[in-house]
Amino acid sequence: MMDKLVKATAKNGDVRIIAAITTDMVNEGVKTHKCAPTAAAALGRMLTAGALMGAQLKSDKDSITLKINGGGIAKSVTVTSYSDAHVKGYIANPNADLPVNSKGKLDVGGIIGKNGSLLVIRDMGLKEPYVGQVPIYTGEIGDDIAYYYVNSEQTPSAVGLGVLVDKDLSIKAAGGFIIQMMPGADDLVADLITYRLEEIPSITDLIVKGMSIEDILEFIFEDMDLKILDEGIVPKYRCDCSRDRVEKALISIGMKDLKEIYDEGKQEEIVCNFCNKKYIFSNKEIGSLIEKLENNK
């Protein structure tokens, strides 16, 4: 089933929904970072969450960054996303892997850990970005994002994220949803949605059955006045690094360190965390950067 993200409402607008199939997007991210199975599930859930949350941004210049670090063997997982649902991300330890948990599922919570926090940074082009932080709730990522919404934004939310890793380590299915209750919504509606989410198969099971994202929402919100608000956008894994950006990062290390590299006759190699692309600056180019900095004093 093709990747697609849609926005919707239910119960006369009392329920706001954003949902997506992200199989191809997650495949690209997992392939880029050569992830072990459990690491693939963790990165895939974070990428899916990023796409869903990024699509809620109002301006194409805005971005949102999610970072989770619970002290587990995965170390940290970082994702940045934008309003068109394109994302980039990385897991600090792509080899993180554990046996399946007691439910027979990949143990994402085990490799993330619970001794840490989930950080949400919204860059709206203002002087300072908005930063929200909550302690890790379960390490399963979906629960942690729901906990963030309730505690930092006072928005009751259900967050479902799924990644099914195939035997060849490719992603067989990935997707997710964020369901939020609007102020004044009937508590009975929230209870009904909670009951349905507990009773239905996982989102990856539904994707494997060939259901579209619209089919899945119709299944969850049957007889609840579901309205799809747009034709949907295609979430993509895409890094926007460039030599200019990397050059600025190199300059940021400071004149002292740049001069040390230059005086030792060395070149500098910088690897982008998000796409693993290598940028090499020759000793002569480093000398030119130093000269440029001195001229701008």
Q: pLDDT at position 109, please?
A: 97
Q: How deeply is 223 buried, as exposed, middle or buried, from its count of CB atoms within 10 A (0-12, 13-18, 19+)? A: exposed
Tell me the residue type at 224.
M
CA–CA distance, 43 with 61 (Å, rounded to integer): 24
User: What residues contact 131, with CB distance under 8 A and at least 6 apart?
Assistant: 119, 120, 121, 122
- Average pLDDT (20-35) is 98
> What are the start-end ranges of the H helices in 209-282?
213-220, 243-251, 255-263
pTM of the model: 0.93
- Average pLDDT (27-54) is 98
User: What residues contact 290, with CB distance under 8 A and at least 6 apart?
Assistant: 255, 258, 259, 262
Residues in the chain: 297
| Each residue's pLDDT tens digit, 165-213 | 999 999 999 999 999 999 988 889 999 999 999 999 999 999 999 999 9
Q: pLDDT at position 43, please?
A: 98
Domains of the chain with CATH codes: 4-237 (3.55.30.10), 243-295 (3.90.1280.10)
Average pLDDT value over all residues in the chain: 94
Q: Can you say how many angstroms the Cα of residue 275 is from the centroid of all Cα atoms in its chain?
A: 14
Question: Is residue 252 pLDDT above 70, yes or no?
Answer: yes
| Cross-sheet strand order for the sheet of 236-237 | 130-135, 117-123, 63-69, 76-82, 86-91, 236-237
Cβ atoms of 156 and 194 within 8 Å: the answer is no
| 113: nearest Cα among 70, 83, 54, 164 | 70
Q: pLDDT at position 297, please?
A: 66
CA–CA distance, 133 with 112 (Å, rounded to integer): 16
**Which pLDDT band holds residue 293 (cuts at 50, 70, 90)?**
confident
Give the residues across from 278 on adjacent strands. Answer: 271
Q: List for the chain the helix, strand, coil content (%; round to 5).
A: 35, 25, 40
**Which pLDDT band holds residue 126 (cuts at 50, 70, 90)?**
confident
- Average pLDDT (215-241) is 93
Dihedral (CA of 251, 255, 260, 264) sign: positive
In terms of phi and psi (left: phi > 0; alpha: psi -120 to 50; beta: otherwise), the region of 285 is alpha
